[in-house]
Structure 1
Amino acid sequence: MTTTEDISRVPHSVFSLDAVPLADRFEVWRESIGCVFEVGVPRERRVNGFRAELDAHVIGDVALARTSTEAQSWARSSATIARDGMDHLMIQIYEQGRMEFSHRGRDEVFGQDALVVFDLAQEMRSETSDFTNLSLLVPRSLIEPQLKQAADRHMQVIQAEGNPLARLLIDHMTTLKALAPGMNLSQGTEASAATVALTAACLNASRRDDGQGEAGIAFALLVRARQRIAEHLRDPELSPARVARLSGVSRTRLYEMFEPFGGVLAYIREQRLRLALRMLIDHRFAEWPISAVASACGFANDSAFSRAFRARFGTTARDMRAAPAGAERVSGDFDRDLDRRYEEWIRLLSA
């Protein structure tokens, strides 16, 4: 029986394969975790039983999940990124086991006593041993204004040794997970704000800053410009000149600030396409014509939207909307015993 007190607690989901027949376990896991990652194991291990459990809390505007499972491969491909439109940073700590990955020519073996940062809007591949880890998911829109530099932090490993803020964040994540079952919604909101601030502080302290003062000013200007773009994104008349005027910077300075993003127009187009993607996979807009979605996202021309969408995501807007949200569902009498609510919570995090 659900009580008022239960409802006031922060949302909690435990996904477990215990009730699933041995032969179906990996496919059920692959389908469920597919809300974030593509996973794989050798074929012989798929039919001989598989172990996985994911215990998740949504605490205010962040999610915190403990995952315990067997060795497997992990990936976020361009197709997955296009399908889910997820724009979060994910910080992981490994309590048991290890992860191996290669990124931009750098090989890493990551284990205990460290943090690793994932940018879920970027591709990744890794291999893990049997492991237990904690994953903190933070929407980019919440943490980015608190970061000192618009740096690429994807696959950044931060060692706790000699880094008090990294040690503090590891301890905070572990303690927050332990306390979450007794936390109400109001407490979760406060804890969420503190968690985002601590995460930002850890990331800020874990990068090499050359010319920190000037970099801080430049980033503040960039954050303001991106906020102005977000505010006026749906306006088809939005131009670099207008963004510069709204942001209080010269066009020359604006072009310099957005050079890492391929230019101002490229950044605006990317944000509009991401907005369109979110609308296309959101059931609330299922009855909207594609042209209405394009118009609502600031595209003045349907043909230009169609070309840009296909170039960015490798499929048409119509096919994206028609595509299933994940793999073909494995079903059986065990369905009623599966708690998969975390999948939707992650997708709608800070939506």
Structure 2
Amino acid sequence: MHPFYQTSDQVEDAIFEAKVSGYFFKNFLCINAEADPQNYYSGTERALKSGYDGVIVKLILEGHCDFSGDASSIRNGAGGITILDMSREVIGITPKIDTINLVIPRHVLSKHIVNIESLHLQTLNQASVMTRLLVNHMTMLRKEAKSITQNEILDVSKLTIELVISALQNHIKTANLAPPRSENSLLFKIKEYICSNIQSTDLSVVNICTKYHISRAKLYRITEPLGGVASFIRKQRLQHAYRLVRSNEETKVQVSTIAFQSGFKSLSNFSLLFKEEFGISPSESIQLNNTYKKVDLNNPNEQPMVNSLLISAWLNQVLL
């Protein structure tokens, strides 16, 4: 699961086996993973700095996993769903295991669920009808993924996200969720505030300090795991710009429009930072997106181009 986690095998590399496949949907990624015994780990600082911000809905089909992190631990077995917040610490120890993982960007869920971080390391109640519906849907999604057409993918995506939201909302009603630790809670609030207001040119250190009634010194200390507040804001602006490019339906979209809609005041500064972050200029990225839209995803003759475009952009497209 790199780059999400650091991993180590419990068996010799020469005999370790794993089978991983993934499918791209409009607003989530579905990863099927079968693997020999292994350990994996991600700390809060590493997760926050990675830039990939989302929630993993992990269904175990065979085997089990011992999860721990943030002073709590659980074991989840076959048929169980565990929620992992990608910005929180987690250690996983598994024997031979088979899983289905839905990787969903935080902003897709945060519109409907308050304090998503409180769901970290929660296992959904298998006696709940909503949980069983989600289990059945994820299992069927793996079985039918190869058969889903481009005309069906939006409806499948919408249905999947709605089922996840309903299952999580149902869990929140009945579970005894512990609130995050105070300083961690403030960090997540600041992070969410930045992400929700990334289009505003008024978003700044002063603005955040005023909003949360804290000093600059405290803000800098709290946001150290993010790599610094200014750096994090800049990275989020660039990721927002990338999403705008990828989702834009216009073939003649202006770089200046993307820049200003992402909170940048200087077009030249935006272009320079964008190229440093993604390796290509904003105009080249727009051109790549236009090329992608012209490709027939169901045409075998164009499959090499499809693979090239998807492999180069899949993490950014789904998670950034």
Compute the TM-score of the two structures, normalised by the length of structure 2: 0.62
Q: 2:96 matched to 1:130?
A: yes
Q: 1:234 to 1:56 in 2, by over 3 A?
A: farther
Unaligned runs of 5+ in 2: 176-189, 243-258, 266-272, 278-303
Find the residue that maps to 1:56 and give its secondary structure: strand
Q: 2:171 matched to 1:171?
A: no
Q: 2:153 matched to 1:188?
A: yes
- For the Cα contact (< 8 Å) 1:66–1:133, is it kept in 2? yes
Find the residue that maps to 1:45 and give its secondary structure: coil
Report matched runs for 1:1-351 at 5 Å: 33-42=1-10, 45-46=12-13, 48-78=14-44, 80-149=46-115, 151-161=117-127, 163-208=128-173, 229-232=197-200, 235-236=203-204, 239=207, 255=212, 273-277=231-235, 344-349=313-318, 351=320
Compute the displacement of 1:201 (Å).
1.1
Compute the displacement of 1:109 (Å).
1.3
Decide which moves more: 104-113 or 57-66.
104-113
Q: 1:132 to 1:81 in 2, by over 3 A?
A: same
Question: Which is bigger in relative contact order (C-alpha 8 A, separation at least 6)?
Answer: 1
Q: 1:269 to 1:106 in 2, by over 3 A?
A: closer
Find the residue that maps to 2:31 and give its secondary structure: strand
Compute the displacement of 1:172 (Å).
1.0
Compute the displacement of 1:97 (Å).
0.7
Compute the displacement of 1:346 (Å).
3.1
CA RMSD across the alignment: 4.4
Find the residue that maps to 2:68 and give its secondary structure: strand
Q: What letter is aligned with 1:274?
A: F
- Deviation track 1:266-308 (CA, whole Å, cap 9, x = no partner) reads 68997754343467899x8xxxxxxxx9xx8789xxxxxxxxx
Compute the displacement of 1:58 (Å).
0.7
Compute the displacement of 1:148 (Å).
4.7
Compute the displacement of 1:153 (Å).
1.4
The count of corresponding residues between Structure 1 and Structure 2 is 246
Unaligned runs of 5+ in 1: 1-32, 211-221, 242-250, 285-292, 300-316, 322-335
Q: 1:72 to 1:209 in 2, by over 3 A?
A: closer
Structure having the higher Rg: 1
Compute the displacement of 1:52 (Å).
0.8
Q: 1:297 to 1:38 in 2, by over 3 A?
A: farther
